[in-house]
Amino acid sequence: MRMDTAARKVATLVATGLLVSGTGVGVATAWATTPRTASAHAATTPSATASATAKAGATPSAHASATATTSASASATASASASSSPSASPSPTAATASASGGKPPVTTTGQSQVLEASQQSTKVGAIFSSSSITPGNHHCTASVVDSPAGDLIVTAAHCLSAGQTGAVFVPGYRDGSAPDGVWAISQVVENSAWTGDGDEDDDVAFGVVAAQSGRSLESAVGGGYTLSTSGTTTATVQMTGYPSATDEPITCTGDAAAYSSTQLVIDCTAFTGGTSGTAWIAGYDSDADAGSIIGVIGGYQQGGDTADTSYSIVFGSDTQALYEQAVSQ
């Protein structure tokens, strides 16, 4: 019997030693801890300032244009946000949300697991540089963040360019399918400290997503995660991201800690290129698919130059101000 795309990819990675097969639902992953070729978490296109140490995939352009500016301010709510979502059906254009999102499982601390289609969250998706949705062509990860208009996503600043148009967000993406539609990112809001100097302490961006047929992104995917900008530096978080090497998301439960006064660090295996922008969700509640985003993979080394250790900026007043600017767009 022919293996499906996911199975073939997993089999290839296992054969090459990049994945360790697990038992039960999902596959436990343990990528090598050596730096990734190109960039750590980002795929290999997006990033601006350049080092070859990002976890972004390969598509966007970092802080290329400096059209959007803003500082960020603090405030927050530390509630939790889980990632769950429906299986991916091949309809990359219609925004039909699956009301029954999956429930990413809590994993062994620090050990990532490949999600089955039924475990995916509708609130987490992949970023593509254009509406051409093809397997392996996504470069970063983003999550829906709750807002009055229901039209915001959060990711790393090195994944998008301020003011950029053309990029799209695909919630629940899997193997070339867009079960919840392809959503155009109409505006990107980043801090001027990032667009001007690539300050690693400002590596966060909010994307304003255009409505489809009068329907907002949140109404299509069942809401968004809470944003916490209280400066949390210690928390158990759930992270769900999209490695570019495979077109299925991975999830990991880990313990975030302070790396410095402005940066967080976490050890979770296999967060390779494409996982930049992955949300760090505190207070994870898989039953409600809810929680609070306290960070995103980015910041120091654009998220980390090895697969098993990731970084984020501390979300404080600057992030809050940035969010408020995005809300006002």
pLDDT, tens digit (0-9, with 9 covering 90-100), for 136-167:
889 999 999 999 999 999 999 999 988 767 99
Cα distance between the two ends of the chain: 51
d(CA 115, CA 127) in angstroms, rounded, equals: 18
pLDDT value of position 162: 86
Residue 73's pLDDT is: 34
Question: Domain for residue 282, yes or no?
Answer: yes
- How many structural domains compose the chain? 1
Give the pLDDT score at 267.
Answer: 98
C-alpha–C-alpha distance, residues 161 and 263, integer Å: 22
Residue 193 lies in a domain: yes
Is residue 10 domain-resident?
Answer: no
Mean pLDDT confidence for 168-192 = 95
Q: Where are the beta strands (DSSP E) in the chain?
A: 27-29, 41-43, 55-57, 112-114, 124-128, 140-145, 152-155, 168-171, 183-190, 205-209, 226-227, 235-241, 250-258, 263-267, 279-285, 290-296, 309-313
Q: 44-71, pLDDT tens digit by residue?
A: 444 333 333 468 876 444 333 333 333 3
Residue 102: pLDDT band with limits 50, 70, 90: confident
Distance CA 271, CA 29 (A): 10
Indicate the pairing of strand 183-190 with strand 205-209: antiparallel
The pLDDT value given to residue 304: 96
Q: pLDDT by residue (tens digit) across 229-255?
A: 999 999 999 999 999 988 999 999 999
pLDDT of residue 192: 94
Q: Which of 157-166, 210-219, 224-233, 271-280 has the lowest mean pLDDT?
A: 157-166
When pLDDT is averaged across residues 217-233 and rounded to a whole number, the result is 97
Q: What is the mean pLDDT of residues 123-139?
A: 91
Q: Residue 92: left (phi > 0), alpha (psi -120 to 50), or beta?
A: alpha
Please give the Cα distance from 259 to 264 (Å, whole number).
Answer: 5
Query: Does residue 6 lie within any of the structural domains?
Result: no
Decide if pLDDT at 17 tops 80: no
Which CATH number characterizes residue 148's domain? 2.40.10.10
Q: Which of 233, 222, 259 is nearest to 102 (CA)?
A: 222
221, part of any domain: yes
Q: Which residue range forms the structural domain that includes residue 266?
A: 26-327
Extract the tokens encoding 328. 């006002």
pLDDT band for position 286 (50/70/90)? Answer: confident
The secondary structure of residue 119, as a DSSP letter, is G
The more confidently predicted of residues 212 and 91 is: 212
Residue 216 lies in a domain: yes
Tell me what the pLDDT averaged over the chain comes to. Answer: 78
Where residue 41 falls among pLDDT bands split at 50, 70, 90? low
- Other beta carbons within 10 Å of 261: 9
Of 125, 84, 83, whose CA–CA distance to 102 is shortest?
Answer: 84
Query: Is 13 contained in some domain?
Result: no
What pLDDT sits at residue 55? 81
Is there a domain that residue 284 lies in?
yes
Mean pLDDT computed over 70-82: 34
